[in-house]
Amino acid sequence: MCGITGIAALSTQANINETDVRSMLPPLRHRGPDGSGVYVDPSRRIGLGHTRLSIIDLAGGAQPMHNEDQTVWVTFNGEIFNYLELRETLLKADHSFHSHSDTEVIVHAYEQYGDAFVQHLNGQFAIALWDGNRQRLLLVRDRVGILPLFYTRQGDRLLFASEIKALLPQLSTAPSISPTALDQIFTFWAPRSPNTLFENIFQVTPGHMLTLENGRLHESSYWDWHFPEQDDYRRDSDTELAEQLYQLLADATRIRLRADVPVGAYLSGGLDSSALVALICKHSNTQLKTFSIGFEEQSLDESVFQQQMVAHLGVENSRIISLNRDIAEDFPATIFHAETAILRTAPAPMRQLSGLVRASGYKVVLTGEGADEALGGYDLFKEAKIRQFWGRHPQSEWRPLLLKTLYPYLETSGTQAKAYLRKYYSIGLDNPGQPGFSHLTRWFTTAQCKVFFSQDLNAALREDAIDRLTGQLPPAFGQWHAFNKAQYLEAKTLMGDYLLCSQGDRMLMSNSVEGRFPFLDHRVIEFANRLDPRLKMRALNEKYLFKQAMKNQLPRQIIERHKQPYRAPDIPAFCSAHPPAYVDEMLSEEKLKHYGYFDAKKVGFLLKKARCGNAIAYKDNMALVGVLSTQLCHYFFIEQFSRTIRATDGACSSLTSH
Amino acid sequence: MMKKTIQHYILGNLLFTEDESALQDGDSFLDSGIIDSTGVLEIILFIEETFGIKVNDDEMIPANLDSVDNLAAFINRKQAIAA
How does pLDDT run across A606-615, given as a tens digit for each residue? 999 999 887 7
A597 is a domain residue: no
Contact B12 A608 (CB under 8 A): yes
Residue A590, domain member (yes or no) = no
Is the pLDDT at A497 greater than 60? The verdict is yes
Query: Long-range pairs for A502-506 at CB < 8 Å and ≥24 separation?
Result: A502/A190, A502/A338, A502/A340, A502/A342, A502/A347, A503/A346, A503/A347, A503/A350, A504/A146, A504/A350, A504/A369, A505/A146, A505/A147, A505/A148, A506/A148, A506/A163, A506/A337, A506/A338, A506/A339, A506/A347
Q: Is B21 contained in some domain?
A: no
Q: Tell me, what's the pLDDT at A658?
A: 38
What is the span of the domain harbouring residue A171? 2-180+202-221
The answer, yes or no, to whether residue A653 has pLDDT greater than 70, is no
Contact A617 B60 (CB under 8 A): no
Q: Give the pLDDT confidence of A213-237 residue by residue, as tens digits.
A: 999 999 999 999 999 997 889 999 9
CB A509 within 8 A of CB A207: no
Res A193: pLDDT: 96
DSSP annotation of A93 reads T
Residue pair A381/A442 in contact (Cβ under 8 Å)? The answer is no
- Domain assignment present for A289: no
Check residue A395 and give its pLDDT: 87
Q: How would DSSP label each residue in B45-56?
A: HHHHHHH-----
Better-predicted residue by pLDDT, A408 or A564: A564
ipTM: 0.85
pLDDT of residue A647: 66
Confidence (pLDDT) at A50: 95
pLDDT at A644 over 90: no
**Structural domain count, chain A:** 1
pLDDT in tens, A253-298: 999 999 888 999 999 999 999 999 999 999 888 889 999 999 988 8
Q: What is the pLDDT confidence band of residue A657, given thresholds at 50, 70 and 90? A: very low
Provide mean pLDDT across the span A492-508. 97
User: d(Cα A535, Cα A376) in Å, to the nearest integer?
Assistant: 9
Quick one: pLDDT at residue A403?
Answer: 86
B45 contacts A614? CB cut-off 8 A: yes
In chain A, residues with a C-beta closer than 8 Å to the C-beta of B45 are 614
Looking at residue A425, what is its pLDDT?
86
Which residues in chain A have Cβ-Cβ distances shorter than 8 Å to B9? none
Q: What is the pLDDT of residue A654?
A: 54
Within a domain: B76: yes
Across A385-397, average pLDDT: 90
| Spatial distance between the Cα atoms of A51 and A359, rounded to a whole number of angstroms | 21
Domain count across chain B: 1
Candidate from A189-193, A323-327, A408-412 with smallest mean pLDDT? A408-412
The whole-angstrom distance between B77's CA and the closest CA on chain A is 19
The predicted structure's pLDDT at residue A411: 56
Which A residues in the span 443-482 are in contact with B, Cβ-Cβ below 8 Å?
445, 448, 451-452
Closest-CA residue in chain A for B29?
Answer: A420
Query: Is A146 part of any domain?
Result: yes
Give the pLDDT score at A264: 97
Residue-range definition of the domain harbouring residue B66 = 1-7+62-83
3-state secondary structure of A531: coil
Res. B59 pLDDT band, cuts 50 70 90: confident
Question: How large a percentage of chain A has pLDDT more than 70?
Answer: 96
For residue A125, is it within any domain? Answer: yes
Residue A147 is part of a domain; what is its CATH number?
3.60.20.10
> Looking at A313-322, A440-449, A638-647, which range is the least confident one?
A638-647
- The per-residue pLDDT of chain A, averaged, comes to 92
Contact criterion met (CB below 8 Å) for A293 and A306? no
Considering the domain boundaries, does residue A303 fall inside one? no
Q: What integer pLDDT is reported at residue A557 of this predicted model?
A: 87
Statement: residue A649 has pLDDT above 60: no
pLDDT band for position A650 (cuts 50, 70, 90): very low
Query: Is B37 within 8 Å of A424 when comparing Cβ atoms?
Result: yes
User: Is residue B75 in some structural domain?
Assistant: yes
The CA distance from B42 to the nearest CA of chain A, in Å, is 7
Average of pLDDT values for B48-55?
A: 92
Taking the CA of residue B13 and the nearest CA in chain A, the distance in Å comes to 6
CA A272 to chain centre: 17
For residue A122, the one-letter residue type is N
Residue A35 reports pLDDT greater than 90: no
Per mean pLDDT, which range of A62-66, A510-514, B31-35 is the poorest?
Answer: B31-35
- Provide the pLDDT for residue A209: 98
The Cα A560–Cα A548 span in angstroms is 11
Query: Has residue A565 been placed in a domain?
Result: no
pTM, rounded to two decimals:
0.94
Residues of B in contact with A406 (CB under 8 A): none
Report cis status (omega within 30 of 0) of the bond before A432.
Answer: no
